[in-house]
Amino acid sequence: MRTAFRRAVPYPILTVSLIVMWLLLAGFNAGHGVIAVVVALGATHALKALGEASPPIRNWVAIPKLIGIVLYDIVRSNIAVAGIILTGRAMDKQTSGFIIVPLRLRDPFPLAVLAIVLTSTPGTAWLDYNSSRGELLLHVFDLVDEAHWIDLITHRYERLLMEIFE
C-alpha cells in the first residue's frame, strides 16, 4: 500500500505545493483542480528522473517549532540590522567578520534548510561549506562574540534539524 502510494506520488510535499500554487494562480474550482493534479503529478514524475529521493522526515511535530523560531529570529535580526544601518555603527567600527562553524549535519536536505534559514536571516550569510570536514564558513554582520554565534547555530537550529530529519 505504502510502496504503491510512493510509486504513484513520488514527492508528496512537492505535489501538494504545486497543486496549491496552481489553484492560487488560476482560481479555486473543480476544473482547475483536475488540471492542477495532472500537472503536479506529471511534473513530479518528470523530476524523478533526476534521481533525488524525497526528504525523509522523521519528526513532523518539530517543524512548526522550527518555523516559529526562524520567524522570531528573522524579526529580531531585522530590527538589529536596521538599527545598525540607521545609526551607522558599522561604518566607523569594523564589527563584521568571518567565522567557521563545525557542523554535525551531513545530509543534503537539512543542510539545504539550514543554508536557506541562515541566508534569509539578515545578519548571517552562508559562504562556503566543506563537506569532507563538515565546516561552514559564515559571514556575520554584527560579530561581537564568536562563541555566541556558533552556539546559536549548533544548539538552536542544528539540533532541531537533526530531530526533524535524522
Partner 1 sequence: MSVDLSALPVWAAIAGSVFLVLGAGLTLIGALGLARLPSFYTRLHAPTLATSWGAGGMVTGSMIIFTAAAARPVLHEILIGIFITTTTPITLMMLGRAAVYRDRSEGDARVPPALGVQEREDVQLAMPPTSEPEKT
**DSSP SS3 for 160:** helix
The stretch near partner 1 (CB under 8 A) out of 6-14, 39-47, 70-78, 151-159 is 70-78
Cell digits for 22? 496552481
Q: Exactly one of 119, 145, 148, 151 binds partner 1 (CB under 8 A); which one?
A: 119
Question: Which residues are within 8 A (CB) of 74 and not within 5 positions of it... i.e. 6 or more apart?
Answer: 120, 121, 122
Q: Does 52 bind partner 1 (CB under 8 A)?
A: no
d(CA 94, CA 143): 9
Q: Does 150 bind partner 1 (CB under 8 A)?
A: no
Angle between helices 12-26 and 30-48 (to 10 degrees): 140
The stretch near partner 1 (CB under 8 A) out of 35-43, 44-52, 121-129, 155-163 is 121-129
Q: Exactly one of 126, 149, 157, 165 binds partner 1 (CB under 8 A); which one?
A: 126
d(CA 121, CA 94): 20
Place of cell 483542480: 33
The stretch near partner 1 (CB under 8 A) out of 1-9, 52-60, 125-133, 156-164 is 125-133
Nearer to partner 1, 5 or 72 (CB): 72
Cell digits for 99? 567565522
Q: Does 78 bind partner 1 (CB under 8 A)?
A: yes
Q: Exactly one of 46, 53, 98, 151 binds partner 1 (CB under 8 A); which one?
A: 98
Q: Exactly one of 19, 103, 109, 122 binds partner 1 (CB under 8 A); which one?
A: 122
Q: Does 127 bind partner 1 (CB under 8 A)?
A: yes
Nearest to 144 by CA among 100, 102, 96, 98: 96
